[in-house]
Chains A and B, each alone.
Chain A
Amino acid sequence: MEIAANALLLGLQYALLALGVYITFRILNIPDLTVDGSFTFGAAVSAVLSVAGHPFLGLAAAILCGAAAGAVTGFLQTKAGIHPILAGILTMSGLYTVNITVMQAPNVSLIGKPRFYEALYALLPNTDKDVLKTVCVAVICAGLTVALILFFKTVFGLCIRATGNNEDMVRASSINTDAAKMTALSIANALVALSGGLIAQTGGFADVNAGSGMIVVGLASVIIGEVIFGKRSLTLGLISAVVGSVVYRLIIALALENELFSADALKLISAVIIGITLCIPAVRKRIAERRIRRGAQKNA
């Protein structure tokens, strides 16, 4: 039970990361590697401002900083014409220095410092603290998911979706594709940074390497969600990314608990799972083709 509760708390926070990755990977159709850097950026800013006594300001700043990081990648991709993957890597790499500078150290501890969810403790003193923490995170996560669902139903949201789908057509239809990409990358990285900011505060520390491999975590969540819900609509896709994130945490927690593998093996296992899931369509096609060939041989 405790494992599940913990996985839920973590999963809901990483869900924002998953939403960000969903926006770039599935909607824009660009794997955005800025994520690793912007996650840490959010964590660093949030932690430093919490230490200074402003946990809420910390979260707000994380959002803005993430959006700025996304805008830089967007600028490099569109105006500077740099390959999308390289653009992400450049921003991510540059952010390492920025993050160290923000934290003034490789890591920052928040022990004894104020956190965003503590406001609820004072409001509801008789409720379990862990429950309050989870409720607080859940409200943020649900609110943002709903906001995103509504956003992608607006005209501008539709333009972003179309840009990822058929850029030629969008350019011939009076939409500024550069602006659409920049906005989407900013929103995505703002979510990722907020995810990092939340985790720094609930976990009680920020580390300059916190973001390493986050793109894989986000992808794993998105893909697990798609395995559960299928790929039907965008609304469902956003929801499934959130659920996927929670399930991913649950799987990992259970595996670690039962000592199926060690914490060190986590990244390799995640990478293998993603690799396998992403190749399913290709494998299915092969199998179908083989079946047709066999059938033809039998009939001959």
Chain B
Amino acid sequence: MLDIKHLSKTFLKGTPNAHRALQDLSLHLDKGDFVTVIGSNGAGKSTLFNAVAGSFLCEEGSIVLDGTDITYKKEHQRAKQIGRIFQDPMKGTAPDLTVEENLALAYAKSMRNPFASAHRRKDVDFYRAQLARLDMGLEDRMRTKMGQLSGGQRQAVTLLMSTIVTPKLLLLDEHTAALDPVTAQKVLEITKSIVAENQITTMMITHNIGQALHTGNRTIMLASGKIVLDLQGEEREKITLPALLEMYKEKAGKALDNDRMLLSEAE
């Protein structure tokens, strides 16, 4: 489904601050794969997602999504096929538009006529049914402005928005990191069920090693812009959390100075 070949990205190229954020990175995902991505801060995880989504062009390498070369496509063109959620719940929705209007915006990907009404009865009923699945009572608050919802509610709606037209690839960048543990768990469960139901090829960045191991069917670890560990199949099933943590420490090559890491270790 996704084929990344020899991708390299250097920020601030040609300056003393040049930084190779991706180094000759190759990755192949099959259809329906759910890959969790781990790695220390600055490993290049978000950079990898940005490269795939088209926030910038990479100087070397190619990206092929479902047989189409998207290496040089514009961000908004790729967005037709790629759903994306950020860590910051503010980023994924328009705060002054209503819940309904936000969903309509996301659903617009599937509409050919840009001058069709954004409030068709049939569509609104569909949004309501989708919202009801979140089990957060949002189906009764469709006329509420998005900005008035809590972070968790917003993130759940963002999840709906990025999957309401089934994407070929779903990129989740620590999308539960800003939520309280209970809400985070809930949003993760909803994520799993939506992904499973539509068999969406998914990549999820997380700092919670346990979550990384127990979600999806494959786990990769990034360090200095390279994939240093790729666990799948039997090997992944057999590995224990302490063993993976040990590997993480070793491969990351530096002490765990990150609070988030320590917290997830404690779980």
| Residues of A participating in the B interface, judged by any CB pair closer than 8 Å | 153-159, 161-162, 165-166, 168-177
Contacts and interface: CB of A to CB of B under 8 A. Distances in A.
A171 B105 contact: no
A175 B107 CA distance: 11
A138 to B, nearest CB: 26
A168 B94 CA distance: 9
B93 A169 contact: yes
A171 B115 contact: no
A279 B91 CA distance: 27
Interface of B: 53, 75-77, 79-80, 84, 90-97, 101-102, 104-106, 108-109, 111, 113-119, 161
Contacts of B84: 172
A153 B95 contact: no
A161 B108 contact: no
B92 A154 contact: no
B76 A165 contact: no
B148 to A, nearest CB: 14
A260 B96 CA distance: 40
A162 B79 contact: no
Given A173-B161, A175-B76, A176-B76, A155 B91 contact: no
A162 B115 contact: no
Given A157-B118, A158-B108, A159-B108, A169 B77 contact: no
Contacts of B96: 161, 165
Contacts of A165: 94-97
B94 A153 contact: no
B170 to A, nearest CB: 12
Contacts of B93: 166, 169
Contacts of A174: 76-77, 79-80, 108-109
B118 A158 contact: yes
A153 B118 CA distance: 6
Contacts of B105: 155, 158-159, 162, 170, 173, 175
Q: Is the interface of B mostly helix, strand, loop or mixed?
A: loop
Contacts of B77: 174
A271 to B, nearest CB: 27
A162 B116 contact: no
A162 B118 CA distance: 13
Interface centre among B97, B113, B119, by most chain A C-beta atoms within 10 angstroms, is B97
Shortest beta-carbon contacts, A-B, top 6: A174-B79, A156-B114, A165-B94, A162-B94, A166-B94, A158-B118
Nearest to B79: A174
B167 to A, nearest CB: 10
B172 to A, nearest CB: 13
B118 A175 contact: no
Given A171-B76, A172-B84, A177-B76, A155 B95 contact: no
Nearest to B81: A174
21 contacts: A153-B117, A154-B114, A154-B117, A154-B118, A155-B104, A155-B117, A158-B97, A159-B105, A162-B94, A162-B102, A162-B105, A166-B91, A166-B94, A169-B93, A171-B75, A171-B79, A172-B75, A174-B108, A175-B76, A175-B108, A177-B76
A173 B79 contact: yes
Contacts of A173: 76, 79, 105-106, 108-109, 161
B61 to A, nearest CB: 22
A173 B119 CA distance: 18
Contacts of A154: 114-118
A139 B100 CA distance: 33
B97 A155 contact: no
Contact of A169 (B91, B113, B114, B116): B91
Nearest to A150: B117
A261 B10 CA distance: 63
Contacts of B90: 166
A162 B97 contact: yes
A156 B53 CA distance: 23
A172 B109 CA distance: 11
A156 B106 CA distance: 12
Contact of B108 (A155, A166, A172): A155
A186 B253 CA distance: 55
A170 B104 CA distance: 12
Given A154-B114, A155-B117, A169-B91, 12 more contacts: A155-B105, A155-B113, A155-B114, A158-B104, A159-B114, A161-B96, A166-B90, A169-B93, A172-B79, A173-B108, A175-B76, A175-B79
B53 A172 contact: yes
Nearest to A157: B118
Contacts of A153: 117-119
A173 B75 CA distance: 9
Contacts of B80: 174
A168 B76 contact: no
Contacts of B118: 153-155, 157-158
Nearest to A29: B96
A155 to B, nearest CB: 5
Contacts of A171: 75-76, 79
A156 B114 CA distance: 5
A158 B79 CA distance: 17
A168 B79 CA distance: 12
Nearest to B75: A171
